[in-house]
A and B are shown apart, each in its own frame.
Chain A
Amino acid sequence: MARRLPVYLVLDTSGSMMGEPIAAVETGVQTLVSALRQDPYALETAYLSIITFDSNAKQIVPLTELTAFQMPSISANGLTSLGDALKLLANKIDSEVAKTTAEVKGDWKPLVFIMTDGGPTDDWKKGLAEFQKRKTGMVVACAAGQGADTNVLKQITECVVQLDTADSSTIKAFFKWVSASVSTGSQKVDSGNEVVGIGELPPPPPEVNIVV
């Protein structure tokens, strides 16, 4: 059994995502998985989990191998409990990601993609503190549209990208880039390396801007 590359998608499903954005996110994940299944590296190493957050955070898909993955339908309502999402993510990393010891060949450090279109409405710093205690690989935070608070995201990770608008073609472009990034990640781990900086990911499309 080769090492797994865990990938966590942490998605905002608060009320403001209702309509076009949430539909685009659902399709985006489907397209992402479908593309990754064509990639021999990702097909064998990438495992995917979906965590959504609105008034609460929920893991709607536990860490699942790509071949068995099915995207449930998602809907948008409620608040933006980003802190709760980070806390849940930390817990899931503890319970789902295997550490390497002499006895056990553990997983690669998880890749995390967080997408939100607003500012957190809960005590996000508490959640962040929990999350930061975990070892992760690349963490990318995406501000979907102008309503998202990039200052908050910057405190979660250095790698923050922003979408000009949260319309369906932009969200689609974002997920395409996530898919390419996971492909790169699984290819890198195959040769014994891990992705550490945004510079090692494929260049994002024009709709996805790197926030510096």
Chain B
Amino acid sequence: METIKKYLEEKGLDDSQIKDFLETHSKEIKQFIDELLEKQLPKPDEDVPYSEVIKEEVQTSEITTTEENPTQIEENQKMQATDNQQQTDMPKVFDSGVQPDKEKAKNDALAFQIKNKQITFLNGKVNQPYEIDFDFETLEMPEIAEVSFEKLEDIGLLYFPEEKKIKGTPTQAGDHKIEMKFKRNDWEEGKPLLTREVVFIINPDPRVLWSKNIPTPEDIEYYKPDSDKIFVKVESKKNMVAASQRGRSHAIEGKPRDDDFALYYDEQTEWYVMVVADGAGSAKYSRKGSQIACQKALEICKAKLLDNKDVFDKNREQENRNEIGKILQGIIGSAVFEAYKAIEQEAQEKNTPTKDYATTLLLTLCKKFDYGWFVGAWWVGDGGIGIYRQDPQYMKVLGEPDGGEFAGQTRFLTMPEIIQNELYTRIRFDVVEDFTALILMTDGITDPKFETDANLNRIEKWNELWADLDGKNEDNIKVDFTDNNEQSADQLLKWLDFWSKGNHDDRTIAILF
């Protein structure tokens, strides 16, 4: 190409004219190259003089110069002659005797062809069976009788010429450069094989890349354990269980869990309290934000429920539901507000912005009355709260996920506008005869299990989740929700380890069942 350019420059064309020229004539130039190649490519069993074949090694673009620049091509040929000289000076690899030049020319021509063939193979994956069709005849090289691959078995693959397949189970990830060997159809013992490099791309197993688990250093500020679990046993009534597991994305870097939870059953008023929070990944103290939010909200609920014990005792009838609702509204409002204030105070003491403690918050209060279960909820941010009943089928989502058009742009408890304007509008109530489970979860679970916000309202998805918890998953991990099963906390924690491509966030789930 450079030589064409030079020649055109000599003809007095400037840069843009040269570009134009190359552009307008590209078709003719290509056609010319094709014709030239057609003439020069050796036909099988045809004797090709070496000097002609060597031209094939010249970059095709340079061949185009022959049309316009005879002087240049002479120079090229001189250069080739030198190359030729050097090459023939090298030790001969093949059998002495029969016309070495002719033999070499034939090989060189073939080598050129081979080099320019597009030969690619489907990418594989470590430890996963690999099988592709490979028929070298599709390469359309009649001079080639046989091909083989050098040390393909080293990466766990084998070539089966009869079956025209490459099969095996790749053992190592990487871009493996494999020598491919071509045997001419008149090949005899002792003659060399033609070779070229081909690449087999073997992808790593993401589970291996994600398997690194570095414990969070215990000396960091606001340290908390990488996982947590609790089972709250309530005699002859529904129980509560919760588990929280640090995500793989944190585990591979030794970063702490940002999620948190708190459960409480008030013996005197018989209210169940569940709180779950997900500290924002981008906020540096969010692990503390989520912890404060859970503990403070729970603490306020505990106190306020007791304060209202008499009211609850007196208002067990259906017609007093509104009364209960009003009280609950007050309790939830204060719990959320105080949680916000507690975070703000911590931030002030630390002399750092409140948003450094950014966290979501999901809160439920639940109690059985004569007319059914009264459930109150408050929710900010992503994740989800739902009441689920298997039989008869019932499902209600207690709030709306704050997803928005752009992923990750969730809302947080620590945003002043939430507390100022949405403290009460985010409260949801429901009264149900009975339910299978009341579930609170962070987006580490809703993202992989529900995928979209719309799916959160589809009962099929809740059925799937419940079946999944019951062991219908690839690892056969089952959480046994029979009454008083103390093991359920361990089982739930184990379940949280489920694999989902691209979903490696902290996971927290709390269930009243």
Contacts and interface: CB of A to CB of B under 8 A. Distances in A.
Interface stretch (A34-42, A153-161, A162-170): A34-42
Given A15-B1, A67-B125, A108-B407, A191 B281 contact: yes
A21 to B, nearest CB: 12
Interface stretch (B81-89, B265-273, B317-325, B448-456): B448-456
A61 interface: no
A202 interface: no
A55 interface: yes
Chain B residues touching A, range: 35 or more
Contacts of A55: 23, 26
Contacts of A26: none
Interface in A151-194: 187, 189-194
Given A78-B23, A194-B408, A70 B501 contact: no
Interface in A124-157: none
22 contacts: A2-B501, A15-B5, A15-B22, A18-B61, A19-B1, A30-B175, A40-B209, A40-B504, A43-B204, A55-B26, A67-B203, A70-B120, A70-B123, A76-B1, A77-B61, A78-B19, A108-B407, A121-B19, A187-B249, A192-B281, A193-B282, A194-B408
B251 to A, nearest CB: 11
Interface in B391-411: 403, 405-410
Nearest to A54: B23
Interface string B9-30: 0000000100110110010000
Contacts, number: 114
A189 B407 contact: yes
Nearest to B408: A192
A68 interface: yes
A100 to B, nearest CB: 6
B306 interface: no
B252 interface: yes
A42 to B, nearest CB: 10
Contacts of A43: 203-204, 206, 209
Contacts of B174: 34
Contact of B252 (A1, A34, A40, A105): A40
A100 B447 CA distance: 14
Given A18-B61, A38-B209, 10 more contacts: A1-B451, A34-B174, A37-B173, A41-B249, A45-B502, A70-B120, A72-B118, A105-B452, A190-B505, A191-B408
B26 A78 contact: yes
Nearest to B122: A68
Nearest to A14: B19
B2 interface: yes
Nearest to A69: B123
B203 A40 contact: no
B344 to A, nearest CB: 23
Given A2-B447, A104-B452, A105-B452, A190 B249 contact: yes
B408 A189 contact: yes
B503 interface: yes
B501 A44 contact: yes
B210 interface: yes
A34 B120 CA distance: 16
Contacts of B201: 70
A92 interface: no
A73 interface: yes
Contacts of B203: 37, 43, 66-67
A117 to B, nearest CB: 13
B173 A192 contact: no
A193 B281 contact: yes
Given A19-B2, A45-B502, A121-B16, A103 B452 contact: yes
A101 B26 CA distance: 46
Given A73-B118, A100-B406, A189-B407, A37 B204 contact: yes
B5 to A, nearest CB: 8
Interface in B415-460: 447-448, 451-454
A102 B504 contact: no
Contacts of A194: 406, 408
A24 interface: no
A67 B205 CA distance: 10
A79 interface: yes
A121 B16 CA distance: 9
A187 to B, nearest CB: 8
Given A67-B123, A192-B282, A3 B407 contact: yes
A120 to B, nearest CB: 12
A79 B23 contact: yes
B452 A191 contact: no
Contacts of A72: 118
A79 B407 CA distance: 39
